[in-house]
Amino acid sequence: MESVVTQTWTMRDFRLESGVALPELTLAYESYGRLAPDGRNAILVTHGFTSSQHAAGRHAPADEAAGWWDGLIGPGKAIDTDRYFVVASNMLGSSYGSTAPASIDPKTGRRYGPDFPEITLADIVGAQKAMLDSFGVTHLVAVAGPSFGGYQAFQWAVTYPDAMHGIAAVVTAPRAGGGPGAVETLRSRLAADPNWNGGWYYDRGGLVDTMTALRVETLQHYGTNEALARTIGDPVARDAELRRQAAAWARVFDPNALLTLRKASARFDVTRDLGKIHARVLYVLSRTDKLFPPSLAPGVMGELERAGVSASYVEIDTELGHVASGPEWAKWGPALAAFLKGLDR
């Protein structure tokens, strides 16, 4: 795939579920392939909690890391960009170019910070729907994404049940775990940083050390150490690389955004609305995932069946835990390709 460029889309007066209107909403995104004249060959790719819209290809310079689903998206790949117009959208509230707590509030001229309004998964997908509509997308082939991206796929399927043929929900579930307790735990960790200042830390140097420590814990829990072991044999060097990745992320990701998205996920639960789903579902889990273990599969598949949803299940046989869907693309990519081709029929 050729070099890709992050683009942005902006609209005015986006109303949230809460009734609050954002005076300006910007979403960052990448796109691959071309939209068909009838606007019906699009696939929306949604990203994980702390990830970005960089799903495929490489940015300049050429040695920058490929996107997190690069093995799946591109010419001739499972999500075939010779066939599909693929949009990888950043989330409302995230830290990679979309409207979020670190953005400037047009009403005040300063960052939203901790005053950023609370958002929901329905708000996140509503923003994506508005963007795709403006592009001329009339119907989606599918919505596909891992982890928090899978939350978005499920939310799309219940909020806009006739907008897509299918969803691929990967290393995820139709309800979040943790609840309010997870939010308070995160808030306490952030507030313990001497620079916190009630969330107004922007002029105090940020919370880089705290965010780095949180990221190290997250990467270790996700399976990143096991993934790095495939190319870095020395445990000391491997740990250094993991910490380098964590520190690089901590310099970019806004702590208030982390808290905003955590609050949105804590409220996510579409299990009562599964009967609204008209799309076919591909549900994919990783054998060693600690966040969404395969033990969830019988319950989720049973709920989908009772709701009358056509669903199939794939388990990735891997040691890479929660991060498996990207590096282990070859193990489940054929199932994704077959699922998408089936939707075309």
Q: Per residue in 248-270, pLDDT tens?
A: 999 999 999 999 999 999 999 99
Report the alpha-carbon distance of residue 322 to residue 227 in Å, rounded. 10
131 contacts 100 by C-beta, under 8 angstroms: no
Say if strands 7-15 and 79-80 run parallel, antiparallel, or are unpaired: unpaired
* Strands of 311-316's sheet in order across: 7-15, 21-32, 85-89, 42-46, 140-146, 164-170, 280-286, 311-316
**What is d(CA 199, CA 187) in angstroms, rounded to the nearest whole number?**
10
Please tell me the least confidently modeled range out of 54-63, 182-191, 219-228: 54-63
pLDDT mean across residues, the chain? 95
Q: Is residue 170 part of a domain?
A: yes
310 in catalytic set: no
Assess contact for 260 and 212: CB atoms under 8 A. Answer: no
Which two three-digit tokens encode residue 342? 């089936």
Assess contact for 167 and 125: CB atoms under 8 A.
no
Within-domain flag for 27: yes
Task: Specify whether 109 is located in the same domain as 206.
Answer: no
What is d(CA 16, CA 19) in angstroms, rounded to the nearest whole number?
Answer: 5
Same domain, residue pair 255 and 296: no
> pTM for the complete prediction?
0.96
Q: What's the rounded Cα separation, in Å, for the pair 27 and 47?
A: 13
Beta-carbon contacts of 211 under 8 Å, excluding residues fewer than 6 positions away, are: 249, 250, 253, 255, 258
If asked whether residues 76 and 108 sit together in one domain, one would say yes
pLDDT at residue 101, as a whole number = 98
- The predicted structure's pLDDT at residue 132: 98
- Mean pLDDT for the stretch of residues 290-294: 96
Average pLDDT score over residue span 38-43: 97
Residue 345 confidence (pLDDT): 63
DSSP bridge pairs for 286: 316
pLDDT for 191 beyond 80: yes
Taking a C-beta distance cutoff of 8 angstroms, is the pair 140, 254 a contact? no
Residue written as tokens 């009967």? 275
- Same domain membership, residue 61 and residue 14: yes
Active-site residue, selected from the candidate residues 70, 123, 193, 289:
289
Find the domain containing 253 and state its range: 180-261
Question: Which residue among 147, 265, 286, 325 is the active-site one?
Answer: 147
What is the structure's pLDDT at 5?
87
Single out the residue in 261, 292, 315 at which a domain terminates: 261
The answer to whether the Cα torsion of 114, 16, 169, 43 is positive or negative is negative
Q: Are residues 141 and 61 in the same domain?
A: yes
Residue 2's pLDDT band, with cuts at 50, 70 and 90, is low
Token pair recorded at residue 88: 């990888």
One domain, residues 112 and 193: no
| Cα 117 from Cα 170, distance rounded (Å) | 28
From the candidates 98, 123, 322, 325, which is the catalytic residue?
322
How many domains is the chain partitioned into structurally?
2
**Residue 228 counted as domain residue:** yes
Which of 261, 290, 322 is a domain's end point? 261
- The answer to whether 274 touches 304, Cβ cutoff 8 Å, is yes
Q: Is 123 a catalytic residue?
A: no
| Residue 254 located in a structural domain | yes
For residue 1, being part of any structural domain is answered with no
Calpha distance 261→183 (Å, rounded): 10
Element (H, E) at 154: helix 148-159
Cα(307)–Cα(344) distance, integer angstroms? 23
Same domain, 171 and 187: no
Per residue in 46-96, pLDDT (tens digit) is: 999 999 999 999 886 655 689 999 999 999 999 999 999 999 999 999 999
User: DSSP secondary structure string, 4-36?
Assistant: ---EEEEEEEEEPTTS-EEEEEEEEEEEES---
Cβ neighbours around 180 below 10 Å, total = 10
pLDDT by residue (tens digit) across 197-206? 999 999 999 9
pLDDT for the residue 299? 98
Q: Does 106 share its domain with 253?
A: no
Contact criterion met (CB below 8 Å) for 175 and 158 = no
The domain that holds 211 is classified in CATH as 1.10.1740
In a domain, 26, yes or no: yes
Residues 109 and 18 both lie in one domain = yes
> Does residue 173 share a domain with residue 25?
yes
Outline where DSSP puts E strands in the chain: 7-15, 21-32, 42-46, 73-74, 79-80, 85-89, 140-146, 164-170, 280-286, 311-316
Q: Average pLDDT, stretch 109-125?
A: 97
Does 152 lie in the same domain as 107?
A: yes
